Chains A and B, each alone.
Chain A
Amino acid sequence: MRPALIALVTSVRKETRIILRDREAFLLLFLMPFVFVLVMSLALQGSFREHSQGARAKLLVINHDDGAIGEKLAEQFRSARHFTTEIRTEQVAPEELEAEVRLGHYKFAIIIPPKTTEQAVKRVAQQLDATVAQVTQQPIAIGLLADPAVHADQRALMMTTLNRALQEVETGILLKQVGEAGKRLVRARQLFPEIPAVRAPDALHTFAEVKDPPYDVTTGLRPPTSVQQGAPSWIVLGMFLLVIPLSVTFIRERQLGTLQRLHSLGVSPWVVMAGKIIPYLVINQIQFGLILLEGMYVLPWLGGDALTLGHTPGALIVVSLATSATAIGFAFLIAVMARTTEQAHVFAPASILILAAIGGVMVPKFVMPVIMQQIAAVSPLSWALEALLDVLVRAGGLREAAPEIGGLLLFAGCCFAVVIVRFRRYFRA
């Protein structure tokens, strides 16, 4: 074997031995994420969460109606405090619209079909007209699409809001028509007292009831389960937990003087770094695989919903590697910046928790206030989470997750650049 390879293999073997013998680190890396996924997925299954007052979901209203109903509906959603509403009147291809929602650009899209006002008025009039034998005008179907990553409670809130809005519109039309009919009836009875009364319909059903939007319009898959939606968060958190043992071991070695000893022996800093990166990268991938297997097999066995791997499981490998690279880069960054293990012990978990919290790992981003949603964009944990959601929940692949993967790799690159500068300075003295 070539000496450089011997050096690398030796370095990797030593790091692996140290990790495997560090019981606390082992528990942190494997047991905590495992228990996290199990507990959180089972606990949150089918539950509804409290919504923060400031939470606003991004809503797109496609108004193809040229009458009062479309305008009124759009206006109602524009003034609703739960939504940030964008209204479009131009034609949008259904596939394009579906992709925009599926990729999370909008949490919901409401499609008001053309001639809604005309048809609604006609249907109410037919129902009120006692001379009409059969109502020929069909109920109007208002379309609703939802981002697959939106939780069930948010979807329910949306459906309730929409159905209530439609009822209000329907009531408005009815009252107007009944009023007009009443006036006409009074005038007519003065001339023809034998005219019959207006028919009172049992139910108008001007609009078809809006149901839970399908997960995927083209494939007709059912909405994602809480496991499917929750697992990416805990996977990301679990993977980033390696920042703690990696940064602490590195600083400990610096304090013990073993790094200085390696330096005095002329060992390449690349061997030292690669010796740490490789085992932690492998551990991270094992962690990732175990959490997926847990979601697929252990959770259903305990009565929970099963995790599915989406349409492109291969993309998961790339997302996982990019997440690992970021976590390892961040760990190294802490290791070269912190002076003592105590500093790393405090800073590493605190920074992970903060980045997780603002990145939507602890609390979904769509229930955060707008300002927090904007802040979330700076967290690498948020990018990792969105990349996983793209693949696991939004049925996307590498192309859809590419922006987040790019962000993760860029962040990892920046971390490693700082680390290499500091490390080379240390090794060059």
Chain B
Amino acid sequence: MCRRGPIIRDASGADKGRVPAAGEQTCYHRQRHPLHFHRFVHSPLIVEIEGLCKTYPGAERRAVDEVDLRIARGRIFGLLGPNGAGKTTLLSMLCGLLRPSGGRMRIDGVETAATTAAMRRRIGLVPQDLALHPSLTAHENLEYFGGVQGLGGGALAKRVAECLAIAGLEGLANRRVETYSGGLKRRLNLVIALIHEPDLLVLDEPTVGIDPQSRRFIHEQLRRLNAAGMTIIYTSHYMEEVEALCDELAIIDHGRIIAQGTVTEVLNRLASSLIQLRLAGGLSAALESELRALPGVTDLQADGHAVRIESDDPLLTLSRVLECVRGRGERVTSASLGAVNLEQVYIALTGASLRDGS
């Protein structure tokens, strides 16, 4: 069943989408935006991306490189990656802020080279920056972002009131935003993206620089919105947030998706291939090169006394590693197999070195 409003059957509508696959439903919704009657295919996948690329003019390498991504309707999807990995570029293409250099995108079943204005109205973007007018009140900000999309009168007033309630800002609605705390501004930044009732909410690090209470409040609201059927794409550098909030996730680095699946799948994938050691005297250069040369070792990361080794055959590799360490006269204080949390997976996949974000 369609979630959105009354269905209007319209046989004369221009076919801009694909032929629906088995199990899919073709729906003709009267858009909330009264300007458009837009046909779309009610696909179980709200986002389908194939071979998506983006090369900035003058850049030597692609910012986004042959990315494939499928996001199911009604899920909370986490997108992780270090600075400069290509997250924002990917989200920008999805939201129609950037034109892809290549590849295909389908938003709710409608194939599009670049996200069109009508498609954009079905996506709510919560940018990392506080994209608000500081000298306006929360009420005026919501009224403005609703009004410029053609919403007016009672419908706009109703949506503004609903959004203020979601953000818990009813009592502060008539105060100028410049007088708000960081947490209040973040909440308003979130609900402005909801004013037009999007199907897909894209959040780019929405909890940066706020206190744990505000973060918790935002998470609760996101869960509620998701429970009501909204699909959410969430990027963050806080691994525990993504682990607790998201059903699925993808890790992107150097413009490529390097891991994708449910949180458990991603954790298990690495859990079965990761060896973690603590060395009493740290990792010397000679020992590191010896360990790297061992059969079965695919990657090695060192952080002080901690050493993480990826392997195709962790059990056999562990015995070789321990033998090698002992042979060098070094003492192992602890050793374990498998990942403990998402952050360890993330570090294992993307490396521990600093990124300049370029």
Bound together: yes
Residues in A whose Cβ lies below 8 Å from that of B97: 260, 263-264, 429
Complex partner residue of A262 from B114, B148, B151, CB under 8 angstroms: B148
- B229: interface (CB < 8 Å): no
A interface majority secondary structure: helix
What is the minimal beta-carbon distance from A267 to any residue of chain B, in angstroms? Answer: 5
Does A256 contact B132, Cβ atoms closer than 8 Å?
Answer: yes
What is the minimal beta-carbon distance from A126 to any residue of chain B, in angstroms? Answer: 83
Does A6 contact B147, Cβ atoms closer than 8 Å?
Answer: yes
Q: With A256-B129, A429-B98 in contact, do A264 and B120 touch (Cβ < 8 Å)?
A: yes
Residues in B whose Cβ lies below 8 Å from that of A263: 96-97
Interface range on chain A (Cβ under 8 Å from partner): 20 to 34
B interface majority secondary structure: loop
Residue of chain A at shortest CB distance from B33: A3
Docked CA distance A3–B121 (Å): 14
What is the minimal beta-carbon distance from B291 to any residue of chain A, in angstroms? Answer: 46
User: Which A residues between 405 and 429 are near B, CB-CB below 8 angstroms?
Assistant: 428-429
Docked CA distance A17–B196 (Å): 23
Does B96 contact A429, Cβ atoms closer than 8 Å?
Answer: yes
- A73: interface (CB < 8 Å): no
Among A6, A22, A272, max chain B CB count under 10 A is at: A6
Q: With A10-B144, A428-B99, A429-B96 in contact, do A4 and B35 touch (Cβ < 8 Å)?
A: yes
Docked CA distance A429–B88 (Å): 14
Complex partner residue of A256 from B34, B131, B144, B152, CB under 8 angstroms: B131
Residues in B whose Cβ lies below 8 Å from that of A18: 133, 135-136
- B123: interface (CB < 8 Å): yes
Residues in B whose Cβ lies below 8 Å from that of A261: 125, 127, 131, 145, 192
Among A22, A257, A275, max chain B CB count under 10 A is at: A257
User: Which B residues between 125 and 164 are near A, CB-CB below 8 angstroms?
Assistant: 125, 127, 129-136, 140, 143-153
Among B95, B147, B176, max chain A CB count under 10 A is at: B147
- A7: interface (CB < 8 Å): yes
Q: Mark A260-282, 1 if CB is under 8 A from B, else 0.
A: 11111111100110010000000
- B293: interface (CB < 8 Å): no
Residue of chain A at shortest CB distance from B130: A256
Docked CA distance A17–B34 (Å): 26
Does A266 contact B143, Cβ atoms closer than 8 Å?
Answer: no
- A1: interface (CB < 8 Å): yes
Does B148 contact A11, Cβ atoms closer than 8 Å?
Answer: yes
Docked CA distance A90–B80 (Å): 87
Docked CA distance A74–B355 (Å): 80
Residues in A whose Cβ lies below 8 Å from that of B130: 256-257
Does B148 contact A10, Cβ atoms closer than 8 Å?
Answer: yes
Docked CA distance A114–B35 (Å): 78
Number of CB contacts from chain A to chain B under 8 A: 107
Q: With A10-B148, A257-B127 in contact, do A266 and B133 touch (Cβ < 8 Å)?
A: no
Does B129 contact A7, Cβ atoms closer than 8 Å?
Answer: no
Interface range on chain B (Cβ under 8 Å from partner): 35 or more
Does A265 contact B98, Cβ atoms closer than 8 Å?
Answer: no
User: Which B residues between 99 and 130 are near A, CB-CB below 8 angstroms?
Assistant: 99, 114, 116-121, 123, 125, 127, 129-130
Q: With A260-B131, A265-B120, A429-B99 in contact, do A7 and B150 touch (Cβ < 8 Å)?
A: yes
- A9: interface (CB < 8 Å): yes
Does A22 contact B135, Cβ atoms closer than 8 Å?
Answer: yes
Residues in B whose Cβ lies below 8 Å from that of A264: 95-97, 120, 123, 125, 127
Does B129 contact A257, Cβ atoms closer than 8 Å?
Answer: yes
What is the minimal beta-carbon distance from B314 to any residue of chain A, in angstroms? Answer: 44
- A183: interface (CB < 8 Å): no
Residue of chain A at shortest CB distance from B116: A266
- A399: interface (CB < 8 Å): no
Does A429 contact B92, Cβ atoms closer than 8 Å?
Answer: yes
Residues in B whose Cβ lies below 8 Å from that of A340: none
Does A10 contact B147, Cβ atoms closer than 8 Å?
Answer: yes
Complex partner residue of B35 from A3, A17, A256, CB under 8 angstroms: A3
Docked CA distance A332–B187 (Å): 32
Residues in A whose Cβ lies below 8 Å from that of B129: 256-257
User: Which B residues between 235 and 250 are near A, CB-CB below 8 angstroms?
Assistant: none
Q: Mark A1-37, 1 if CB is under 8 A from B, else 0.
A: 1011011011101100110011000000000000000
Docked CA distance A265–B193 (Å): 9
Complex partner residue of A14 from B131, B136, B196, CB under 8 angstroms: B136
Residues in A whose Cβ lies below 8 Å from that of B192: 261
Docked CA distance A253–B144 (Å): 14
Q: Which A residues are closer than 8 A to B by beta carbons?
A: 1, 3-4, 6-7, 9-11, 13-14, 17-18, 21-22, 253, 256-258, 260-268, 271-272, 275, 428-429
Closest 8 CB pairs of A and B: A3-B150, A10-B147, A266-B117, A257-B131, A266-B120, A257-B129, A6-B152, A264-B125
24 CB < 8 A contacts A-B: A3-B151, A6-B151, A6-B152, A7-B149, A10-B143, A10-B146, A10-B147, A11-B148, A21-B136, A21-B176, A22-B135, A253-B133, A258-B131, A260-B127, A261-B125, A263-B96, A265-B149, A266-B117, A266-B121, A266-B149, A267-B148, A267-B149, A429-B92, A429-B96
